[in-house]
Each structure stands twice: as C-alpha cells, then as structure tokens.
Chain A
C-alpha cells in the first residue's frame, strides 16, 4: 500500500508492504542510514527516532502506522554545519566509542532536553534506560547530556 511519511520535514512516499518496519522504511526509502537497526526486539534503543517529538523504537513500529505523523531522525540534528548541542556534548565529553548506539542515544537525549531542559543525573539515566551502550560508556553519555543541558541554558541566558 502507498504510504506517505514526513521524515525530517520532507514527505516521503512509497508503495510498501504493511509489514515493513519503520526502521527499514527510514533506512531504505529516503536512504537515511543514521538510524541504526540493532537488536530488533525493542531492547537496545539504537533505532530510536522521534514521532511527533516523542522518542519511539522504530524496530517495533510499522511504517504504515506513521502516515500522517512527523518523524525526526538523527540526520535532522545538525543544521547548516552546526551541530545540535547534544551532538556537541557527545563530542566534548567523548561519549561514543564504537558509535553504534549513538544515533538512538542522541535522539533520546534530544527528546529529554526538549521536555525537561534541566534534568538531574537520575532523570538522564532513567531517560536512557531503554538504550544500551555495549561499550558501556554510560558515564560519559550522562556527562554529555548534562553538558548539552548546561550549554543550552547558558545560550538561552545570553540570548
């Protein structure tokens, strides 16, 4: 069936089988391979994208269920060469090693800071509890999200 989904502000249409999962639609149709396909069982969080601003696991969402909804992937974070603060935070705090979990971590972090601009460390840890880093770099990931929160607070104050 024909499905149209808004991904990063652009409408993407394709004739697909209803059984196609959102993660594969994103990776295959617009070819946005930043969203990673990990455990395939909604445990690891590598496939997290934002659906109407809320993080969801795209391996456990059918593409057809997303028609009429806004999907945001990791590719939308950087704008005109400018990294999103969460990306800058990961860079500053060395919050990635192999990088496989990073897209899901970034989108989960972005959604957290959109809802709660000044989270405690416990709130950060809770927010990313559905995302697994097999390099076990959680300490730096928490630090990176904290960095992004502080950076955004400082930038807001300046403006």
Chain B
C-alpha cells in the first residue's frame, strides 16, 4: 500500500489566508489543488510536506476569461475546463490539442493548470504550451503580486519562480492578431507522459512571421524553450525550408536522456519532426484565421 508520510491538513478559505499560512508554516508547507501530481509524489515519499494547504474551495481561482488584450486563466482551473473552453480553442487551439492527450478524462477532472505548472515536470505538456503561447504567470505573496514570463518561470526540474510564502494565482495569455498554434505529442500509450512533445505558436503580419513561440517537453531537465528558433523565424515568410531549419535547431538545442521511452537519437529526431509539424500547423491556422478575417 502506498501511503503518504504524515502531515497536518488545513483547508484554505481565501488567497490571503493561503499566503498567511505559507508564511507562518515555512518551507514544510505545500499547497494542494487537484493533487494528481503531488499525491503520487507523496505516496512514493519523494515529497514529504509537513503541512498541506488545500485550495480546492477557492473557486475564485477557477476561471477562463477575456480581459482587455489578454485571456486570463485562474490557477485552479481544471484540465477538463481548459479542454472544453471555446474561448481558448478560438485563440489558442494548442491548449485543446494538448488537453486531449494529458493523462485521461478522469484525471483531467481534478488536475489544475496551476498544479501542472508548479509541478514543473519537464515532461508535462502545459509548461511547453504556456511557453510557446508567451504566457505570463501571476504570483502573489505577502507584499503583493508580481508577473513573471514563462521563460523565467521554470528554474529547473520541479523548481519554479514561485518562492516561499507565494502562490501562483493566474496565467495570462496576451492576445495578438494573426495568431495560430498547435501541439504535437508522441506517447507510448493513451494518457502517458510524452516521449517528446512540441508546442508552437506564431503571430503573422502581412504574410510574415511577426513573432513565434516554440517549446519542447520531455527532452531536458526542464521545458526547453527554443529561443534560437524563434529568433530565426521573426520577420521571415513561412516556408518548408524555414521549418526544416527550425527542426534542426530543435534537434540540436534539446538535451534528452535515454530511458524506457527511447534512446537519445530517437528523441532528437522526434524533437525535430514534432516541432516542424507543430509549426507547420500553427502557420496554417494563422493563415486560416487571416482569410476568415
């Protein structure tokens, strides 16, 4: 039987209350939402928090809404809501594509976007999705809020910019015209972690790539942000030759390890193929949007 080590439990009634508890209890306290990342770690005793602060009652942190020139997603929003959201599907289709292949529908009823991002597992899909979409994370602490770009969010394996006494409260996705996006994943079986996954987003302007976001899951110690590929794409007209160059960068700039999911050269090959496929579909999506408008 797998049983977590003993801990004290409290149920939060407000975001301020969570922050006060985290500050009072110190580094031994952890926030629990869906629990589908943290509880398995606790059952294996890889995580042994002394205190758990349950935020499932904080329904004010569960929303997906358009506000100004952003889509804002509350940290407690569950995978199933991300999958169903028409607003997200319209502006950032890569969310729905990723959600279809994250775990299984029953797990998706519990797991949350905040939990996924804070778990910061390199093989986790939403981290690469949010990196490609140029998302920003809103982190609240005792002295107020700060907004951190995804490129500064993941500090290492299972390590994020969310510090002691702080809570991730919101994800913000900037809305810009000419957007297209896609997520590609290869897994051993339905609902498994990725062997490799690639997320791509582009913003076209007059037939040229104004900006791009590309990120990879499961091929390094943390989510791989392909900034060199993004640099290459900016200002250029999309073409198969350009996609192939991005594939080469993806293959070179990731750092996979050999494991039960495959050897290094296979994963580098997948990184190249999947980033090209995601990028190609992201561009097609953006062009389709342009012709509709």
Contact = CB atoms under 8 A, between A and B. Distances in A.
B9 A130 contact: no
A54 B106 CA distance: 8
A45 B190 CA distance: 14
Interface stretch (B34-42, B173-181, B217-225): B34-42
Contacts of A41: 2, 40, 43
Mostly, the B contact residues are loop
A56 interface: yes
Contact of B36 (A18, A42, A48): A42
Interface in B1-55: 1-9, 11, 32, 35-36, 39-40, 42-43, 52, 54
Contacts of A126: 105
A83 interface: no
A130 B56 contact: no
A130 B7 contact: no
B148 interface: no
A62 interface: yes
A108 interface: yes
B35 A54 contact: no
A127 B103 CA distance: 12
A42 B7 contact: no
A57 interface: yes
A56 B7 contact: no
Given A60-B35, A60-B39, A64-B9, A129 B110 contact: no
Given A21-B3, A60-B36, A130 B106 contact: yes
A55 B105 CA distance: 9
A62 B35 contact: yes
B107 interface: yes
Contacts of A64: 9, 11, 54
A56 to B, nearest CB: 6
A148 B135 CA distance: 43
B191 interface: yes
A130 B191 CA distance: 7
B77 to A, nearest CB: 15
A60 B40 contact: yes
B104 A129 contact: yes
A156 interface: no
Contacts of A108: 106
B191 A19 contact: no
Given A17-B6, A18-B6, A45-B104, 11 more contacts: A1-B9, A19-B3, A19-B5, A40-B1, A40-B43, A48-B106, A57-B36, A64-B54, A67-B11, A130-B105, A130-B106
Ranked nearest first, the 6 interchain pairs of A and B with the lowest CB-CB distance are A130-B104, A18-B9, A130-B106, A19-B4, A54-B109, A40-B2
19 contacts: A1-B9, A19-B3, A21-B3, A40-B2, A40-B43, A42-B40, A42-B103, A42-B107, A56-B106, A56-B109, A57-B36, A57-B110, A60-B35, A64-B9, A65-B32, A65-B35, A129-B104, A129-B190, A130-B107
